[in-house]
């Protein structure tokens, strides 16, 4: 039976304990069963009950009753051929918790005047290459779609996986759900990220999926369900401005599914600081985004490490919050949202971009900021996001060998690949290396 490596020792010790350790939903386990197995029979044998399920994945969230003998329960699962994998239902949440609370009362003008836009895309964007035709799923606390900032933007109905309806509103419940003495500290988090995406990719279609409560908390099972909802909703890009401590199999499996479907998954690196790998940013199929400030220095709160793909502004960001207001916040959440928006713009500029080509060109177009971060230069990815260069690269600038310049070396490579489907030399990614690719290369040659 395949299961997460920590499952055998950790899962059962916690199931039998009076309370679960920090980071896990109390008395909840996730199992995936083999084809043809009956969940009803498994529940009857184990004394468990189904809380929720993802039937097509044969995956079930179970409530595990108190009082079980851990050794007996472990023995039943270890030798049960019906169970393919088992793990605890990890808690997930926004990267910052109360440390990422919004500073309200920011003037609306501050949204347009912030350093972020000039850093990422000096001069602004316009025309058809603005995210048009691309769906960005935002797995978060929901969205206040009535905010004036979204006027003229296309927002799909979405889904609320906490209230189990199709109204993913970004609402406050007045409850301290995470017992941290703060109430509704993440109310507006989803609206904040959605507005950043809408500003940078104004033509993109937003798909809000509420998987986190107003304290910014959720669970691995709900996040996985949200990823499948994004897939079913036709997402081209999935933004996950959230983080969790543990590598979780159910989320990894959902991300692999999204990747196979050609979806680019973007996640925030986390706000705990230091060389630290959090998830889902830690999964290899995910674009992991760290945060920088106005001087291109890694933000003090941002996690970093060898798994980071790139950085984007995340310090002192200004964006929309519910009830027509604006707020300011620090976090890798906003950095991830800016990367998701840029990916949408690139995809709209060149619909032929595959997921792998989109990722490659996104990272290749980053600004080198190693001089500003010398001690950790190898742990901040490809550099800082630059939409202007990303857009140029998406359309096809002919830099076939990715050395940072389009020259006669690239021309030689293109001519050598003439008539083939070589993706590296196929500048416009239409499936064949030919005349259009040559013209694009010559337009950028130095």
53-99 per-position pLDDT tens digit = 999 999 999 988 776 544 555 566 777 899 998 888 888 877 765 55
Instruction: State the pLDDT at residue 125.
Output: 59
Instruction: State the pLDDT at residue 186.
Output: 87
Helix 220-232 / helix 249-260 crossing angle, nearest 10 deg: 10
Alpha helices by DSSP H, 67-151:
70-78, 109-113, 115-120
Q: For a pLDDT cut of 70, what percent of the chain falls above it?
A: 90
Tell me where in the chain the CATH 1.10.1330.10 domain(s) lie: 396-444
**Is the per-residue pLDDT at 423 higher than 90?**
no
| HSE value, Cβ hemisphere, 13 Å, CA-based, for 72 | 7
Least confident of 70-79, 227-236, 322-331: 70-79
In whole angstroms, what is the distance from residue 380 CA to residue 164 CA? 38
The dihedral formed by the CA atoms of 420, 421, 424 and 426, expressed in degrees to the nearest 10: 90
Is the domain 396-444 a CATH 1.20.120.920 member? no
Choose among 63, 100, 407, 396: nearest CA to 243: 100
In whole angstroms, what is the distance from residue 439 CA to residue 421 CA? 17
Mean pLDDT for the stretch of residues 123-146: 86
CATH T-level fold of 97-393: Rossmann fold (3.40.50)
Give tens-digit pLDDT for 338-397: 999 999 999 998 888 899 989 988 998 999 999 999 999 999 999 999 998 888 888 888
pLDDT band at 221 (very low <50, low <70, confident <90, very high): very high
Is the domain 7-89 a CATH 3.30.70.80 member? yes
Instruction: State the pLDDT at residue 74.
Output: 59
The two tokens of residue 219 are 């669970």
Tell me where in the chain the CATH 3.30.70.80 domain(s) lie: 7-89
Q: Report in angstroms the alpha-carbon separations of 108 from 171, 191, 293, 324, 328.
A: 21, 15, 21, 9, 11
Top-confidence residue, 247 or 310: 310
pLDDT band at 126 (very low <50, low <70, confident <90, very high): low
Alpha helices by DSSP H, 158-295:
189-200, 220-232, 249-260
Instruction: State the pLDDT at residue 100.
Output: 57
Instruction: State the pLDDT at residue 229.
Output: 97
Instruction: State the pLDDT at residue 26.
Output: 75
**Is the per-residue pLDDT at 283 higher than 60?**
yes
Instruction: State the pLDDT at residue 299.
Output: 97
- 82, with CB counted inside 10 A (0-12, 13-18, 19+), is middle
**Is the per-residue pLDDT at 232 higher than 70?**
yes
pLDDT band at 10 (very low <50, low <70, confident <90, very high): very low
Top-confidence residue, 246 or 286: 286
Q: Facing residues of 325 across strands?
A: 321
**Is the per-residue pLDDT at 333 higher than 70?**
yes
In whole angstroms, what is the distance from residue 242 CA to residue 333 CA? 7
pLDDT band at 123 (very low <50, low <70, confident <90, very high): low
- 389, with CB counted inside 10 A (0-12, 13-18, 19+), is middle
Tell me where in the chain the CATH 3.40.50.200 domain(s) lie: 97-393
Instruction: State the pLDDT at residue 383.
Output: 97
Name the pairing type of β-strands 103-104 and 59-63.
unpaired
Tell me the average pLDDT of the chain: 88
Terminal alpha carbon distance of the chain: 58
Where b means 16+ CB within 10 Å and e means fewer, 169-187 reads bbbbeeeebbeeebbbbbb
In whole angstroms, what is the distance from residue 108 CA to residue 324 CA? 9
pLDDT band at 14 (very low <50, low <70, confident <90, very high): very low
In whole angstroms, what is the distance from residue 248 CA to residue 260 CA? 19
pLDDT band at 20 (very low <50, low <70, confident <90, very high): very low
Mean pLDDT for the stretch of residues 383-412: 87
pLDDT band at 25 (very low <50, low <70, confident <90, very high): confident
């Amino acid at each position: 039976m395949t299961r997460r490596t920590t499952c055998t020792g950790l899962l059962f010790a916690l199931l039998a304990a009076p309370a679960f350790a920090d980071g896990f939903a109390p008395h909840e386990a996730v199992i995936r069963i083999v084809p043809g197995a009956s969940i009803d029979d498994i529940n009857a044998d184990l004394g468990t009950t189904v809380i929720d399920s993802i039937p097509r994945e044969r995956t079930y969230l179970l409530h595990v009753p108190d009082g079980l003998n851990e050794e007996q329960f472990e023995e039943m699962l270890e030798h049960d051929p019906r169970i393919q994998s088992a793990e605890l239902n990890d808690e997930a949440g926004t990267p910052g918790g109360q440390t990422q609370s919004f500073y309200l009362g920011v003037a609306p003008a501050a949204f347009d005047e912030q350093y972020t836009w000039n850093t990422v895309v000096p001069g602004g964007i316009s025309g058809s290459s603005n995210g048009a035709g691309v769906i960005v799923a935002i797995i978060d606390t929901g969205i206040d779609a009535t905010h004036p900032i979204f006027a003229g933007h296309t927002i799909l109905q979405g889904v609320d996986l906490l209230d189990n309806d199709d109204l993913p509103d970004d609402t406050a419940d007045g409850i301290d759900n995470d017992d941290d003495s703060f109430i509704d500290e993440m109310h507006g988090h989803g609206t904040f990220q959605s507005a950043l995406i809408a500003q940078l990719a104004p033509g993109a279609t937003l798909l809000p999926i509420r998987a986190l409560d107003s304290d910014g908390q959720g669970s691995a099972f709900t996040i996985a369900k949200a990823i499948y909802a994004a897939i079913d909703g036709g997402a081209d890009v999935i933004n996950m401005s959230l983080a969790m401590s543990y590598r979780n199999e159910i989320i990894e499996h959902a991300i692999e599914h999204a990747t196979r479907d050609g979806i680019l998954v973007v996640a925030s690196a986390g706000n705990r600081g230091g060389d630290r790998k959090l998830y889902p940013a830690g999964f290899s199929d995910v674009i992991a985004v760290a945060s920088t400030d106005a001087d291109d220095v890694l933000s003090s709160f941002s996690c970093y490490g060898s798994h980071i793909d790139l950085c984007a502004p995340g310090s002192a960001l200004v964006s929309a919050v519910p009830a027509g207001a604006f707020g300011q916040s620090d976090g890798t959440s906003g950095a991830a949202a800016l990367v998701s928006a840029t990916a949408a713009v690139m995809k709209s500029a060149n619909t032929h971009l595959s997921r792998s080509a989109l990722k490659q060109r996104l990272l290749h177009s980053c600004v080198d900021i190693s001089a500003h971060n010398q001690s950790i230069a190898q742990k901040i990815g490809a550099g800082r996001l630059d939409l202007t260069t990303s857009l140029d690269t998406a359309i096809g600038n002919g830099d076939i060998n990715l050395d940072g310049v389009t020259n006669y070396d690239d021309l030689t490579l293109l001519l050598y690949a003439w008539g083939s489907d070589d993706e590296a030399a196929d500048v416009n990614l239409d499936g064949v290396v030919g005349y259009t690719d040559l013209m694009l290369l010559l337009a950028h040659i130095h």
